[in-house]
Amino acid sequence: MKNTLLLVVLLLLSLFALGQTTRKEVIDTVYSGNSPVLLYSDFSWAYVQVDSLDLFSLPEYDDMEPGDTTNVLGHHWINDQVFAFFGEKNKIGNDTVIRVINSESIFTMPIRGKLYRGFTYYHKGLDISLSKGDPVFAAFDGVVRYARYNRGGFGYLVIIRHFNGLETYYAHLSKLKVIPNQYVRSGDLIGLGGSTGRSRSPHLHFEIRYKDLPFDPLKVIDYDNQRLYAETLTIGKSLFNIQDDIAGAKYHRIRSGETLSTIARKYGTSVRMLCALNKIKTTTILRIGRTLRVR
């Protein structure tokens, strides 16, 4: 009788599992000591080492604006949707200064490679060359909101939400090394480089967004020196308005003896930025009289 009952229970559980979609979602979190065990909809589980951080409460973050940090991990926290604020009108009001890093956090380049495509009206991030299998790292401390295969073109995609409200996207990966709701530190391995999704060759597509709104990562990152321009960032309309960027564009006519490096220094920009703005390579021969966009 006991064996029969056990078989019935197992059969019901199997039928229930078959009736679920293949989507793997976190349905509960059980704590073992100070670290959580994540329970998934397919009855699997995973132990996550989070260094005693409560994933569902926001830690103190020095000098950050309360309006941008309150409940940042609870507001629009969706594990199976790329754009968490989809359908909302994300109005950007008065300029707000947020802290990108503080005294206890750092910035890490996700991958050190050649930047061959920049941010444009039709391309919302940076394309950085790599080889399949190269390690890709988290840019800032945060919590993984999304880690799965995306059929919209991103391929294997990791999205990390940071404690200032920013999110970073890491697309076209060949393998995921993190799971949703996992806490990561800047420099932690989050995936391996690849060419999945809408991609012609191995590269990392990297984006930075605020409430789903993309902006040029090179406004924050000094790519030539692999560091940030500043520890703070002003969130305002000018950050997202590409038309303002075009209207405020500045150009330089190349003179004899000038190089990309000397032009970049003259205008306080970087060689990578010049290449991205003008769709040229660092090895491109500069012809006298040609016009380059410098801002």
Residues 74 and 32 in one domain: no
Residues 129 and 210 in one domain: yes
Residues 32 and 135 in one domain: no
Supply the CATH number for residue 275's domain: 3.10.350.10
- Across the strands, what pairs with 129? 203
- The single residue listed with the structure tokens 């404690």 is 163
Instruction: Work out the percent of the chain whose per-residue pLDDT is above 90.
Output: 43
Work out the average pLDDT over 175-179: 97
* Higher pLDDT, residue 6 or 232: 232
- The pair of three-digit structure tokens given for residue 1, joined into one six-digit string: 């009788």
Q: Could you tell me the residue range of the domain that residue 31 belongs to? A: 2-47
Work out the average pLDDT over 208-237: 92
Residues 275 and 234 in one domain: no
* Burial (CB count within 10 angstroms: exposed 0-12, middle 13-18, buried 19+), residue 86: exposed
Q: Say if pTM beats, i.e. exceeds, 0.75.
A: no
Residues 203 and 144 in one domain: yes
Q: What is the pLDDT of residues 155-171, one digit of tens each?
A: 999 999 999 999 999 99
Residues 146 and 170 in one domain: yes
Which range has highest mean pLDDT (3-12, 63-72, 73-82, 208-217)? 208-217
pLDDT value at position 52?
30
Q: Classify residue 12: in a domain, yes or no.
A: yes
Which residues are within 8 A (CB) of 120 and not within 5 positions of it... i.e. 6 or more apart? 242
Band of residue 42 on the pLDDT scale cut at 50, 70, 90:
low
Q: Classify residue 53: in a domain, yes or no.
A: no
- The pair of three-digit structure tokens given for residue 244, joined into one six-digit string: 């303002």
Number of domains forming the structure of the chain: 3
* Burial (CB count within 10 angstroms: exposed 0-12, middle 13-18, buried 19+), residue 195: middle
Over 60: is that where the pLDDT of 34 sits?
no
Does residue 196 contact residue 237 with C-beta atoms inside 8 Å?
A: no
The DSSP annotation for 127-173 comes to EEE--TT-EEE-SSSEEEEEEEEETTTTEEEEEEE-TTSEEEEEEEE
Q: Classify residue 58: in a domain, yes or no.
A: no
Does residue 130 contact residue 201 with C-beta atoms inside 8 Å?
A: no
Over 70: is that where the pLDDT of 203 sits?
yes
Query: What is the SS3 assignment for 174-222?
Result: CEECCCCCCEECCCCEEEECCCCCCCCCCEEEEEEEECCEEECHHHCEE
Q: Give Cα 76 to chain centroid, integer Å.
A: 16
Helices and strands (DSSP H and E) totals, the chain: 6, 20
Please provide residue 127's backbone torsions phi and psi, each rounded to the nearest 5 degrees: -105, 120
> Residue 178 carries which side chain, given as an amino acid letter?
V
Among 49-53, 184-188, 216-220, name the one with the lowest average pLDDT.
Answer: 49-53
Q: Classify residue 39: in a domain, yes or no.
A: yes
Supply the CATH number for residue 98's domain: 2.70.70.10
Does residue 206 contact residue 110 with C-beta atoms inside 8 Å?
A: yes
Residues 134 and 256 in one domain: no
Q: Classify residue 56: in a domain, yes or no.
A: no
Q: What is the pLDDT of residues 108-151, one digit of tens each?
A: 999 999 888 888 877 899 999 999 999 999 999 999 999 999 99
Work out the average pLDDT over 172-189: 96
Residues 141 and 219 in one domain: yes
Q: What is the pLDDT of residues 243-273, one digit of tens each?
A: 544 444 678 888 888 999 898 887 777 887 7
Q: Classify residue 9: in a domain, yes or no.
A: yes
Residues 122 and 227 in one domain: yes
Instruction: Work out the percent of the chain whose per-residue pLDDT is above 70.
Output: 72
Residues 16 and 105 in one domain: no
